[in-house]
Structure 1
């Protein structure tokens, strides 16, 4: 925009902080965060090629973020029987990017640096820690805080997560638009690398448990219990997620949003998995049970001068590992507000352009994420990967849509070969 906008971002998580980094280059940015600081829990995050390329272009430092490039995705049964092996370079070598593993707290710290450090162009974002939004006038951009303060904004970005307080205001619907339980919950925790190696040696395993691979261990008995592990923080810790249907989990655990795992609960639920997994669970660092939630695709992400991004817009389960990547792509789309080519458009008009691209893409990925839970045929798995890891950016997508073309061109996917 030719004029400098006053931007208010509700939520200081991953999507909100990266949106602040994008917009600070030309505009005044205020981030409102109800927590007092880094509130990311002890878990990891995968970033696909599109996401890692975006964040590195904005100054993200992989070394500071402890980010590791994945080499393989391996699928096993619960007793270490190999089912499949997928070399990630099969995809990434053609996409000019990498599939990566990071510790969520490290990514958050880096994004805060990008948003608030003097190292980067523009004015650092102002973060109001420990502040809660009471209401938002989504048409005018006025944001009301619970402490009585009022912030006048030209652009409001709702990056306040899966339990967004702004979502129903944008959609003009009641609170029922919140994401619903998906039917499964994940016990998420980390284990120090030296402890993991000790456990592997105890069980006679000679492979390197901290190799840069994602490992999926499946029950293969119809119960849909799964264990997912991969290293992060430059190989210092192993991220673990033990996923089980809610019907198998104690109700007092899954009724809450997230709760500490009961002693011995993971061992009970996964008792028939190889004993190595049970030992990992016993050495878990503060295991918590997270109820996985799923959002039906929304009819719009924007109203007036307000836009939903990240989990506030398109919450999805982690089965395709796309939550973080889609949030980052959302944030990058606000670069339209920095481009002189869009100066003639109003804030609502530009938000409609962003909505046109981001909602179509995220909705497709939400739909496929649901399909992936059932492990559909191989052809679909291939197509999922090519689509999720292929994104030319907001401007190219708009150009393609205006020309009547497919927004995402799957150049490398051959459905015949994938069957």
Structure 2
């Protein structure tokens, strides 16, 4: 399964098999919904190789033979996306092998090397030495070598002997018998006459489990959860999976069972009867070392009582593939293997614990003070998809390594935007295809009115004068890489000469932005959530003709702002020293307000704006008037000398003294969500136009320097 999953990720996979044949032995195996779903993900349909659905569970008392209950699983199973299947191990193994090494499917077929017994491993080099002396290496070494794992011995453990598998106290006989032989016997046919029934015959210290595994024809008898019996009744020197069973000893172990149960055991074919000791192991503190990881029974040997051993091994395999996508660097492997362990250890260990409890008698559970809730464990076991789980874990891991920007909807992880492309594009605004237009009208207005727009008393004006300056700045942004080379427009009010007094007395100077209108959702969302920009949406229509330019802002046909630039003429070349500065923007948006040009009339004090203030406010859900977040934000303007190209661009600037600003207040009907803002803007006094410009710039910034002030 690991070879299949890793192959699909684009990796070259080599399977080293110690035996000289590539066939599986054994009886039957459960593929519960959590495991069958992984098979289906990789195109392995085991119903095509004889698997049948587990559609009913029945339980009987082992000594009396009395039926305790039957549960029809056809209705409950509808809650699971995939079926609970019962299949012959050899058929499952063959299907997996063909999918791993065959030509069909994604990726390069895995290489299967038989008679390749490994004698030593080097976890750091991801290298193994074969019995022949040959060394085989790769980038990752996966030890899927079972309960007696050689790779496990290469883990760094304080007390390695503590993690030696041990006899849990029970062993299991297993055998296969044709269903028709059981059906022909009226004494025991009740155990098998209903198709797809998993029958559990439970006693105090032994049990029999029987279920069909090949198209409802062949019955599987496991004496684990099937005939679990004390190990002392069948122990021999050979405790392996394929130990030959002694039928006489098995029947002697079942002497106390009900007649119909003994009749089942009588049908065991003596020549193919197998017995194996059920092994348990202390929980490993780690499954990894360097570039090596364990999976399956090597990492967590399972008792068979919940039939999850094979399924958990498959989940290990798929987890590894999910966190090792194509393109993973060799340097990242140790860290990724640690992530694999984090994904899998808790779940595998929890299912191990549940498996131990399910194999414990009620009397012993009472002594231990524990309870076993079969339905709760079933829901936990079946209701999981390891691919989805591990892939999500990898995404979160990668996100944690960089300061990604998150915003609503948070369910899908970090979102692309002007400061975070999350694709192959450079993480800057490339504006080489088309210049951007910044149109500004700077005007004199009332300090006593504008100070009412400050959100807290920490904001104030630098000047005590009642006349201050503000600007309406409208930007037309085009060919923006983060918007698929499209663009948008925005227009905002910028209040100059503002200071913010911090709690420690430090003063910051800048321009305050109380409102910014934009005509595209994407920059509105990114600016509001990432930068605390006070953005709202509306229609913005920009037109230019001859020496005139106009901007109209409206909401569904209702115009609430009209801006005009008339008599525009070229601005004299100033080699970039005219105080206008290089444009700076939010989301490729806000332009840096121009410096005070020394207007005619009463002299105005020259005030240096060092950055832009904004204010974050996030309302608390369900608590009107309360905020979850409320604080001031400052973006300090970048200080750099203009380049030659920027100076040349300045020659293309236009200016005029003939400009008009008109805001119209609406009402609940015409501007239901904007009328309060339109009213506030309409009330802003216009004492006179200082200067109006239209500037062509090659690029804009994105205000990634915006930071919470305190």
TM-score normalised by the chain length of structure 2: 0.51
* Aligned ranges 1:184-195 → 2 under 5 Å: 184-195=170-181
SS of the residue corresponding to residue 247 of structure 2 reads coil
- C-alpha separation in 2, matches of 1:280 and 1:208: 10
- Aligned partner of 1:380 among 350, 373, 378: 373
Cα deviation 1:378-416 (Å, max 9, x = unaligned): 77222111111121324535747969xxxxxxxxxxxxx
Deviation at 1:65, TM superposition (A): 2.6
Indicate if the aligned counterparts of 1:162 and 1:178 stay in contact, CA closer than 8 A.
no
- Does structure 1 residue 23 correspond to structure 2 residue 9? no
- C-alpha separation in 2, matches of 1:348 and 1:257: 33
- Does structure 1 residue 59 correspond to structure 2 residue 43? yes
- Aligned partner of 1:370 among 356, 377, 380: 356
- C-alpha separation in 2, matches of 1:208 and 1:140: 52
SS of the residue corresponding to residue 172 of structure 2 reads strand
Q: Which residue of 1 aligns with 2:218?
A: 237
Alpha carbons of structure 1 residues 346 and 294: separation in structure 2 relative to 1, 3 Å? same
Deviation at 1:319, TM superposition (A): 0.7
Alpha carbons of structure 1 residues 90 and 138: separation in structure 2 relative to 1, 3 Å? farther
Deviation at 1:207, TM superposition (A): 7.1
Structure with the larger RCO, 1 or 2 (CA within 8 Å, 6+ apart)? 1
- Aligned partner of 1:289 among 260, 272, 275: 275
How many residue pairs get aligned? The number is 381
Cα deviation 1:328-352 (Å, max 9, x = unaligned): 1111112225636966971111111
Which segment is superposed worse, 244-253 or 159-168?
244-253
SS of the residue corresponding to residue 184 of structure 2 reads helix
- Aligned partner of 1:135 among 120, 123, 141: 120
Alpha carbons of structure 1 residues 362 and 206: separation in structure 2 relative to 1, 3 Å? closer
Deviation at 1:153, TM superposition (A): 1.0
Cα deviation 1:240-298 (Å, max 9, x = unaligned): 02234435504437766652122312211112323333333233231111100112211
SS of the residue corresponding to residue 13 of structure 2 reads strand
- Does structure 1 residue 346 correspond to structure 2 residue 339? no
- C-alpha separation in 1, matches of 2:137 and 2:240: 35
What 5-or-longer segments of structure 2 have no aligned partner? 398-710
- Does structure 1 residue 217 correspond to structure 2 residue 201? yes
Which segment is superposed worse, 38-47 or 129-138?
38-47
- C-alpha separation in 2, matches of 1:246 and 1:359: 30
What RMSD over aligned residues (CA atoms) do the two structures have, in Å? 2.6
- C-alpha separation in 1, matches of 2:124 and 2:190: 60
- C-alpha separation in 1, matches of 2:315 and 2:38: 8
- Does structure 1 residue 96 correspond to structure 2 residue 77? no
- C-alpha separation in 1, matches of 2:127 and 2:188: 62
Structure 1 or 2: more helix by fraction? 1
- C-alpha separation in 1, matches of 2:193 and 2:332: 53
Deviation at 1:84, TM superposition (A): 2.4
Deviation at 1:54, TM superposition (A): 0.5
SS of the residue corresponding to residue 215 of structure 2 reads coil
TM-score normalised by the chain length of structure 1: 0.84
Q: Which residue of 1 aligns with 2:27?
A: 43
Indicate if the aligned counterparts of 2:87 and 2:214 stay in contact, CA closer than 8 A.
yes
- C-alpha separation in 2, matches of 1:305 and 1:187: 38
- C-alpha separation in 2, matches of 1:208 and 1:316: 27
Alpha carbons of structure 1 residues 76 and 66: separation in structure 2 relative to 1, 3 Å? same
SS of the residue corresponding to residue 330 of structure 1 reads helix
SS of the residue corresponding to residue 70 of structure 2 reads strand
Deviation at 1:56, TM superposition (A): 1.4
Cα deviation 1:172-193 (Å, max 9, x = unaligned): 4545523211110000111012
- Aligned partner of 1:259 among 243, 248, 252: 243
Alpha carbons of structure 1 residues 112 and 49: separation in structure 2 relative to 1, 3 Å? same
- C-alpha separation in 1, matches of 2:212 and 2:28: 9
- C-alpha separation in 2, matches of 1:161 and 1:385: 25
- C-alpha separation in 2, matches of 1:42 and 1:275: 27
Q: Which residue of 2 aligns with 1:308?
A: 294
Indicate if the aligned counterparts of 1:191 and 1:280 stay in contact, CA closer than 8 A.
no
- Does structure 1 residue 332 correspond to structure 2 residue 318? yes
- C-alpha separation in 2, matches of 1:147 and 1:343: 31
- C-alpha separation in 2, matches of 1:169 and 1:244: 33
What 5-or-longer segments of structure 1 have no aligned partner? 1-17, 404-419
- Does structure 1 residue 34 correspond to structure 2 residue 18? yes
- C-alpha separation in 1, matches of 2:320 and 2:74: 30
Which segment is superposed worse, 375-384 or 271-280?
375-384
